[in-house]
Amino acid sequence: ASPSLHLSGFLYVNGQPMSQGGYKIAYVRQEDIFFSQLTVRETLSLAAELQLPDTMSPERKEKYVNDLLFRLGLVSYR
């Protein structure tokens, strides 16, 4: 962190404003983990299951994965 960097603003958690002071904030980088024992399709399906909304149907998630495989040119690596 840079000591010369100053940020200001409002903090909301679950749509509710947080009161000033008394809390600590941290930034945690996300790094996707790839399991070597999974196929490309299985890896993308797992990521879709974990990251896409629960309200999305399994069929729609499968279509999302299929479209992604096609766009990435990975259909033959299922």
Tell me whether residue 25 is in a domain: no
Q: Is pLDDT at 1 greater than 60 in this prediction? A: no
Does residue 4 fall inside a structural domain?
Answer: no
52 and 64 in contact (C-beta within 8 Å)?
yes
pLDDT of residue 2: 62
Residue ranges making up the domain that contains 72 = 33-78
pLDDT tens digit sequence for 29-76: 777 777 889 999 999 999 999 999 999 999 999 999 999 999 999 988
Could you tell me if residue 41 is inside a domain?
A: yes
| Residue at 23 is within a domain | no
The count of structural domains within the chain is 1
